Structures are given as structure tokens and as C-alpha cells.
Amino acid sequence: MTGCSNSSLAAEHRSKAFSSEVGTGSREENASKQSESSVLIYQNRSLGSITGRTATGGMAQPTFFEQPPSSTLADIAALTQARLVDASRGGQQVRGLASLDEAGPMHLTFFDNLKYAGQLASTKAGACLVNERFEASVPAHVAVLRAVHPFREFVKIARALHSDALRPQSWFGNAGIAPSAVIDPSAHLEDGVIVDPLAVIGPKVEIGAGTVIGSGAVIGANVRIGRDCNVGARSAIQFALLGNNVLIHPGCSIGQDGYGFVFFGPDGHLKVPQTGRVLIQNDVEIGAGTTIDRGSLRDTVIGEGTKIDNQVQIGHNVTIGRHCLLAAQIGLAGSLTIGDNVALGAKVGINNHLRIGDGAQVTAMSGVKDDIPAGGRWGGFFAKPTRQWFKEIVALERLVRDGTAGPKGEGRE
């Protein structure tokens, strides 16, 4: 990293007054005032009533994110690939986004799942993104925005209206280095780095411009962190090199020893030195509480654009390709090689020294003990091709149902 310099900016503490006004009218009345109030409303389903997010006599509760300016349906259609079916409603105002069951006349919602057909029929929304095949099911009072992929277009709008929710900022409104942060004199921080209170940055660390280091985070010696990154509060990073636009959520541990021992020797379990690193490429996101061990002889690598959910364990020497998706509570044993564009469901466990081919998908809660070829669709415990797995499940269920689970009728009720 070049052009780095020590920053000694004192943090400017900025306070913002929270609105104490709470909507007390109907959802429809309050929705029309959202541009003037930071307090959202919600429906108390157990009581069937509409209330503000404040108990009687209690304190006002902020919504945390900026309320977007109002838009027209014509604006929204122009932003997306959706078509406003009734062009005469192009001037209709939209002041927020909501789910089908919570939307009011000033909200935009979407529908793309028949499971929620009942909510679509009763929605109070002002407008709805919907595929053409479900268009006839939309109530007459709801403006229709026709889209091939309604949810994708809804997300596009949400990203435009709520850009402040896409990337964490300083929890304390810091614009520079908090006075209580501890930064080694040999560390190099480019201009525009934000360091929150009680963070610790070690010797010879380099951090790129636009990066935010959260409160209580610890960055070990010689670590490199690129530009426009976020390191969440209480995260610990050592023996690691991070690219640009890496988002690490709170409570992650990156670069600690891998689980390497020579087991059951005459003197017990002999620890193997772990002298590799963790390499995290550009545009990676790592969920809260995830742990990534450094390599032993080779590096642990997380490929560009990969998105990792919360509480995932990645063992030493693992190589994960580009643009992979790892859901929560996955466990990856050491020395795995995972190709590009692989999707692993929640709680998948994969044994060590295996290869998972490009584009493979593994069903949630599967246990993988064999290599998976490129494009494979596997699931089960132990995992196998999904067609085979489903056939075995059906056959087993038939055996139990027919009372032929054992030679002497074992298994019959």
C-alpha cells in the first residue's frame, strides 16, 4: 500500500436529537407523515391494533436509518425494469417500502411467492411489484408495477432509497481517530480512515482510505487492510491481508492458529506450527462471529466477491473460490478446495482435503465426505447426488410404511 500517513485527527462527537413524536393515528395516516417523522409504525397482530414503536409513557425509539425522500411511481418505474401498468398513476407518491401485510397507501411492496397470496389479497399497499402471471390477483386499489423479477427490482429500489444501510459506518459518528484508540506509531493509515473508541492497531499495520475500524477491534502486527473496508466491533485480525471493500461484521476472529496437531504421540498431542496467512480478496463479506484460521504451510484464501454468513468456521489451508455463498453455521475442515460460484446451505459440514467443483450446491445440514464434481447438486448425511438421496428417502419411507423394515417385522408400530 502506498501513500499512507499517520492520522492524528481527534474525533468530533456529534449528537443528534431523536424525535419524541409518535404516530397515534391509523397506519394510513401515519404513512403519509413518514417524511416528517423518524418513527415508523407497526401492527400489533395479537391485538389487531396500530401503535407507534413507543410504549405509553416510554421513550421514543429511533428507526436508525434515514427516511428516504418521497418518489413517484413514474420515478420508480424509471429506476427499474418494471412497467407501470396504469400510466395515469405515474404521479402517485411513494414514501417508503414495506411487506405486504404491513404496507399502507404510501408504501411500495412486492409479491413473488404464492405462499403469501392471502396477504396480497388483503394488502393496503399503494403499489406492488409483481410478475405478469400474478397481476390479476392484485387488489384494484393497488397500482401494479409489472416486473419479470419483482424481488430483484424491489431490492434495486431499496438500495437506491436506503444506501446508508448497505455499509456500516462509525457507531459513534466519528470522522477520524477516536482519542481512546491505541495506534502504534509505526502503523500507516491513509487519509479518511475512521477508528472508533478502544480499537487497537498494532505495529506496521497499513489501512487504506475510507476504511472503518470498529470499537474494540484489534488489528495485529503487519496486517494489511485495503480501502473502503469495514472491520466490525470486537473483531480480531492477525496474519492477514485484506483487499478493498471487505466487510467484516462484529465479533469475527481472523488469522488465529489452525487446528493442527500430531495426535496421540508418546508426549500427547504435538502442536504443528501454523506459519501461513489469511488472504481475503476484494468485495468479500464476512458475517458476525465467523472464524477463519490461518494456514499451516499454505495460505487460507477467501476469493473475490464471496459472501459468508454468521458463525461460519473455516479451517486452515482452505481455499474458497470467487463469488461463493456460505450460509450460517457451516464448518469447513482444513485443506479444502472450493471452486467458484459454489453455494453451501446452513450447517453444512465438509471433511478435510476434499474438492468441491465450480458451481456445486450442497443442501443445508448435509455432511460431505467425498469430492463433489463441478455443477453437482448434493445433499443428505452423508451427502450424495440429490436425486439418489431423494430416491433413498422415498424407498426407506415405503419400507417403514409397509411394515417391512426388518425380517421379523421390526419397526412395526
Name the residues annotated as catalytic.
316
Q: Is 263 exposed, middle or buried (0-12, 13-18, 19+ CB in 10 A)?
A: exposed
Q: Which residues of 12-44 are buried (b: 16+ CB within 10 A; e: fewer)?
A: eeeeeeeeeebbeeebeebbbebeebbbbbeee
Q: Which is it for the CA torsion 142, 145, 146, 148, positive or negative?
A: negative
Tell me the C-alpha distance between 70 and 85, whole Å: 20
Q: Is 168 exposed, middle or buried (0-12, 13-18, 19+ CB in 10 A)?
A: middle
Could you tell me the CA-to-CA distances from 6 to 11, 74, 172, 179, 204 in Å, in that order?
15, 48, 21, 14, 11
CB neighbours of residue 58 within 10 Å = 10
Strand partners, 379: 384
Length in residues, the chain: 413
Consecutive H or E run containing 83 = strand 83-84
